[in-house]
């Protein structure tokens, strides 16, 4: 596993430091984010085993990728279009952070990109997609907790938080899709 690297530096280097191999990755957050994202409110943090980076950031999300460079960039830099929101073709992780922070979806990507830029990410390349999937399963069922993972996250310590994540995402999507009058949604707006 690489040492966690600041996302803003990876963005500056146009993601070139990240391999295009399959693998797994970990996202690290500053300690105040435990309160900001309601993790400490909805979980007994003292009972969670979180990965901790040398700089004190804690890992709250884990995933796997067929291509690490593409997947990390997708999470951190995906464009916010109405088409993505309507179809659900939006990074689950990015969408969760948009909802939890209540960032203005229609206002563009600046808020969420700025938030991502202060996160750190580490990764571990795998020999194949199957190996990456196996590593992800082991990690998600291992001793560490990943509070912001939604899919398959059935840890009893995280159930209230996972419910909150799902509810927040549904409410956020409804709010932004319903706040856009259909008269103002043109085909160009959906694809830009």
Sequence-ordered alpha helix ranges (H) in 56-149: 68-77, 82-87, 92-101, 110-117, 129-140
Confidence class of residue 180 from pLDDT cuts 50, 70 and 90?
Answer: low
Which of 48 and 192 is assigned the larger pLDDT? 48
Coil, strand or helix: which one is 175? helix
Sign of CA dihedral 70, 75, 78, 83: positive
Is the CB of residue 140 less than 8 Å from the CB of residue 146?
yes
Residue 74, in any domain of the structure: yes
Q: What is the pLDDT at residue 152? A: 82
Residue 138, in any domain of the structure: yes
Confidence class of residue 192 from pLDDT cuts 50, 70 and 90?
Answer: very low
Average pLDDT over residues 24-31: 98
Nearest to 176 by CA among 86, 74, 76: 86
Residue 191, in any domain of the structure: no
- Cα–Cα distance, 113 to 110 (Å, whole number): 5
Residue 43, in any domain of the structure: yes
Residue 180, in any domain of the structure: no
Token pair, residue 45, equals 């943090």
Q: What is the pLDDT at residue 154? A: 87
Q: What is the pLDDT at residue 188? A: 35
Residue 187, in any domain of the structure: no
Q: What is the pLDDT at residue 181? A: 55
Confidence class of residue 191 from pLDDT cuts 50, 70 and 90?
Answer: very low
In the predicted model, what is the mean pLDDT of the chain? 92
Residue 148, in any domain of the structure: yes
Confidence class of residue 157 from pLDDT cuts 50, 70 and 90?
Answer: very high
Coil, strand or helix: which one is 133? helix
Average pLDDT over residues 166-186: 77
Is the CB of residue 81 less than 8 Å from the CB of residue 192?
yes
- Total domains present in the chain: 1
Domain that holds residue 18: 5-175
Residue 190, in any domain of the structure: no
Residue 160 predicted with pLDDT over 90: yes
């Amino acid at each position: 596993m690489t040492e966690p690297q600041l996302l803003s530096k990876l963005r500056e280097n146009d993601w070139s430091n990240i391999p295009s191999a399959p693998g797994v990755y970990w996202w690290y957050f500053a300690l105040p984010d435990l309160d900001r994202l309601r993790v400490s409110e909805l979980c007994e943090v003292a009972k969670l085993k979180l990965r901790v980076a040398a700089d004190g950031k804690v890992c709250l999300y884990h995933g796997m990728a067929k291509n690490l460079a593409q997947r990390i960039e997708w999470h951190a830099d995906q464009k916010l279009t109405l088409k993505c929101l309507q179809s659900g073709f939006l990074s689950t992780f990015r969408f969760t952070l948009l909802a939890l922070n209540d960032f203005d979806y229609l206002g563009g990507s600046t808020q969420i990109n700025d938030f991502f830029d202060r996160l750190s990410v580490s990764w571990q390349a795998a020999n194949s997609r199957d190996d990456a999937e196996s590593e992800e399963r082991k990690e998600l069922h291992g001793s560490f907790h990943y509070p912001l993972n939604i899919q398959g996250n059935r840890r009893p310590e995280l159930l209230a938080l996972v419910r909150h994540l799902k509810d927040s995402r549904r409410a956020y999507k409804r709010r932004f899709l319903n706040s856009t009058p259909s008269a103002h949604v043109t085909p160009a707006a959906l694809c830009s």
